[in-house]
Amino acid sequence: MISSTPIAAPPALFSADGLVGVIFLVMIAVTIIGGFIACNSERLVRAVAGLIVCFVGVAGLYYFLNSPFVAMMQVLIYVGAVAVTISFAIMLAAPEEQKKIGVSSPLIGPFGFGTAALIAGGFSVLAVRTEWPAIAKINDGSIKKIGIQLLTDYSMVFELISIVLLIAIIGALVIARVERKN
Amino acid sequence: MSLTLLNVIFAVVVAIAFAAANAAYLVWAERRGAARIQRRPGPNINGPFGLLQPPLDGIKLMAKQLIIPGGADKVLFIGAPVLAMYPAIMSFVTIPFSDSIVAHNINVGILMIFAFASTGSMSLIFAGWSSRNKYSMMSAVRAVSQSVAYEIPMLITTITVVMIAGSMDLMEIVHQQSSSILHWNIFPLLGKSHNILMPASFLIFFICTLAETNRAPFDLGEAESELVAGFHTEYGSMGFGLFFMGEYANIVIGSCMTTILFLGGWSCPFGLFPGVWWFLLKLYLLIATFIWIRWTFPRTTIYGLLNLSWKILIPLSLVNLLLTAGLIKVF
């Protein structure tokens, strides 16, 4: 799947490479469609369903990018844990179906679209202009190698994730304190 | 390439057929077992030993009308039963039945099976929510709290086994247990683990499998004396059938995982007749235990269920994890 030449002639549709390409496109479509459902549905539970579709699409992209470990972790954590927790919270909070409340935040509309377009454009430019180094495959299934890689070559990522989790915990505590004061 | 494509199609067909056939005939086995335990005749009219009952039931269910309650969320209502069946079918892709009988052995096999198994509770949530029925809703809330509670000790126990094996490859885990019966992970001393708590670990895993598949005595999600039929109250026809088949397919997956992680997979006890039948023997013995437990124990309460997980199983599995880690370091 890793080809050193960037974009050559497109492979024939019914060759192995062609089918892989089709699956890649399907995964991208699934991700985008899931995102649309998550943002635009009126019922919260449907939005969660859309979010799950989106997560599964992203997991498919990881698998396509030769990282089955990350793909499975994506499904296990985001679909199996995060989405389940979100739907649990929705059910505890509002069992009846919730219509979307029309919040008119200044970010909705042209501003939101502009921001999104800017971010998407920036990432596209980055993705196309960067010369991507070929990274050696590390996921041979042995826990030891994954652990060593996480604590040596990819320690930056590891630390960043812990900061994100720390911020999430602090945020939860802050929200809980405010609620309790009221 | 065409050969690989044929292989893929063959594997998919076999996986689906195996899941469906097991689901159908385990219903028959369950009804026969229940009848035997309750001292009454089970389904024994259609065919020898009533073996034609499952296909006939299937035809009956498919011929029935699918009623969607008014006010239900149609998309999720129809999607939920499909979600109930698919994790099991996906898992069969990577479960090795013997050295050669495996559709596609990926090196993170354990992770894949738990990843898809963890999405199974989504089907209960969607079914309960989309039915627009208070009983279904209550059942969905119960099912979620149950699956969250029991996934933790299950995964911790699995991490223990993965630490012992040093690999997430299911084939590799079985190979490491295959030298003799005393090397199976359930036995503490001769195997790689040296951990005297491994039998407890096996029990924790088995209890969690019972709870994760919503089986009695943990079937709080469909407690018929309190919640009518729980999340599938509003489902008739094949929607109900799919939930039922999904439950049994999940039992097969749970028993497969118990066999592979603790009972040495297809490795034979004393070098007797090595082959895939040892795997099947262990698998169906475990499934028979599932049926036996269901018709022997009364249902627990929801508090009993949650207490068992948070106060007993999680601390025990954590102790076990620490002990195993320490012993691996020492030896």
The per-residue pLDDT for A121 is 92
Q: Of A78, A95, A112, which residue sits at a domain end?
A: A95
Same domain, A14 and A80: yes
Average pLDDT over residues A1-7: 46
CA-to-CA separations, B45 to B26, B32, B60, in angstroms, rounded: 17, 12, 16
Instruction: Provide the domain count of chain A.
Output: 2
The sign one gets for the Cα dihedral B5, B9, B12, B18 is negative
From B106, B121, B166, residue closest to A84, measured CB to CB: B121
Average pLDDT over residues B292-301: 84
The per-residue pLDDT for A97 is 53
**The amino acid at B87:** P
Average pLDDT taken over every residue of chain A = 77
Better-predicted residue by pLDDT, B74 or A100 = B74
pLDDT for residue B135 is more than 80: yes
Residues 6+ apart with CB under 8 A from B70: none
Same domain, A12 and A85: yes
Q: Quick check: A24 and A64 in contact, CB under 8 A? A: yes
Domain that holds residue A152: 140-182
pLDDT for residue A81 is more than 50: yes
CA-to-CA separations, B2 to A16, B8, B312, in angstroms, rounded: 9, 10, 53
CA-to-CA separations, B33 to B213, B290, B313, in angstroms, rounded: 18, 10, 29
Asked if residue A67 belongs to a domain, the reply is yes
Residue with token string 């943002």? A39
Asked if residue A112 belongs to a domain, the reply is no
Asked if residue B131 belongs to a domain, the reply is yes
The per-residue pLDDT for A4 is 46
Instruction: Provide the domain count of chain B.
Output: 1
pTM of the complete model: 0.81
Asked if residue B219 belongs to a domain, the reply is yes
* Range list of H helices, chain B: 2-37, 53-63, 74-92, 109-118, 120-130, 134-165, 170-176, 198-212, 224-227, 237-262, 276-294, 302-307, 314-330
Q: Which of A23-37, B113-127, B188-202, B308-322 has the lowest mean pLDDT?
A: B188-202
Average pLDDT over residues B123-137: 82
Q: Which of A37-41, B189-193, B267-271 has the lowest mean pLDDT?
A: B189-193
The per-residue pLDDT for B190 is 65
pLDDT for residue A37 is more than 50: yes
Interface of A with B in 152-181 (CB under 8 A): none
Q: What is the pLDDT of residues B45-62, one digit of tens each?
A: 887 887 888 888 888 888
Chain A partners within 8 Å of B132 (Cβ)? 97
Same domain, A91 and A144: no
A84: contact with B, CB 8 A cutoff: yes
Helix axis angle, B2-37 to B276-294, nearest 10°: 40
The sign one gets for the Cα dihedral B283, B204, B126, B299 is positive
Chain B partners within 8 Å of A75 (Cβ)? 115-116, 118-119
Domain that holds residue B200: 65-330
The DSSP bridge partners found for residue B167 are A142
* Residue from A55, A48, A50 nearest A75 by CA: A55
Asked if residue B139 belongs to a domain, the reply is yes
CATH code, A68: 1.20.120.1200
Asked if residue A135 belongs to a domain, the reply is no
Rounded Cα distance between A57 and A166, Å, is 27
Q: What is the pLDDT of residues B223-250, one digit of tens each?
A: 777 777 777 777 877 788 888 888 888 8
Q: Quick check: B268 and B220 in contact, CB under 8 A? A: no
Average pLDDT over residues B219-224: 73
Q: Quick check: B28 and B45 in contact, CB under 8 A? A: no
Same domain, A85 and A31: yes
Q: Of A95, A121, A148, which residue sits at a domain end?
A: A95
A95: contact with B, CB 8 A cutoff: yes
Asked if residue A107 belongs to a domain, the reply is no
The per-residue pLDDT for A3 is 45
Asked if residue B241 belongs to a domain, the reply is yes
Average pLDDT taken over every residue of chain B = 82
Rounded Cα distance between B260 and B257, Å, is 5
Asked if residue A101 belongs to a domain, the reply is no
**The amino acid at A151:** L
Tell me A66's DSSP state.
T
Cα of A27 to nearest chain B Cα, Å: 17
Asked if residue B58 belongs to a domain, the reply is no
* Residue from B185, B233, B222, B217 nearest B72 by CA: B233
